[in-house]
């Protein structure tokens, strides 16, 4: 039964749209991968960084189980991946386990959303490495 259920969930991939880059360059150095409530602050931070000439891109997931079919290929095309989350890093764990990419987590568990400045500072910190 476990195998049957896993096959049914995997089949759902056929109905999920492929992942696309929301903003930035598909060939950027750094990808900001988000989901859920982080959309606005990530979008604002990436927009500001792009206007300043930085090499970043933003992908926001709408489907998590299963992930879109092309997500692995997309993730492997970036040098660095940052995953800002308003929790203890559950998406980070899933992405690392499934796609074996060295993504960097940025978690915030304080009951307050990320600010654009917080995200910009973290992204700039990674761009320097």
Domains of the chain: 2-127 (3.40.50.920)
Question: pLDDT band at residue 103, thresholds of 50, 70 and 90?
Answer: very high
Say yes or no to pLDDT of 127 above 90: no
pLDDT in tens, 36-93: 999 999 999 999 999 999 989 999 999 998 999 999 999 999 999 999 999 988 999 9
Beta strands in the chain (DSSP E): 23-24, 30-35, 56-61, 80-85, 104-107
Classify strands 80-85 and 30-35 as parallel, antiparallel or unpaired.
parallel
> Beta-carbon neighbour count of residue 82 at 10 Å?
24
CA dist., res. 102 & res. 97, Å (int): 10
Say yes or no to pLDDT of 7 above 90: no
Supply angle C-alpha 19, 25, 31, rounded to 5.
65
Look at residue 88 in the predicted model and tell me its pLDDT. Answer: 86
**What is the percentage of the chain residues whose pLDDT exceeds 70?**
99
Say yes or no to pLDDT of 34 above 90: yes
């Amino acid at each position: 039964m476990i195998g049957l259920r896993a096959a049914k969930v995997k089949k759902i991939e056929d109905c999920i749209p492929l992942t696309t880059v929301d903003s930035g360059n598909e060939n950027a150095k750094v990808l900001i991968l988000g989901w859920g409530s982080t959309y606005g602050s990530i979008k604002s931070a990436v927009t500001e960084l792009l206007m300043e000439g930085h090499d970043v891109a933003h992908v926001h997931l709408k489907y998590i189980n299963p992930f879109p079919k092309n997500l692995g290929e997309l993730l492997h095309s970036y040098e660095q991946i940052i995953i800002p989350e308003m929790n203890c890093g559950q998406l980070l764990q899933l992405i690392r386990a499934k796609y074996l990419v060295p993504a960097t987590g940025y978690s915030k568990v304080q009951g307050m959303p990320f600010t654009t400045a917080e995200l910009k500072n973290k992204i700039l910190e990674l761009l320097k490495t």
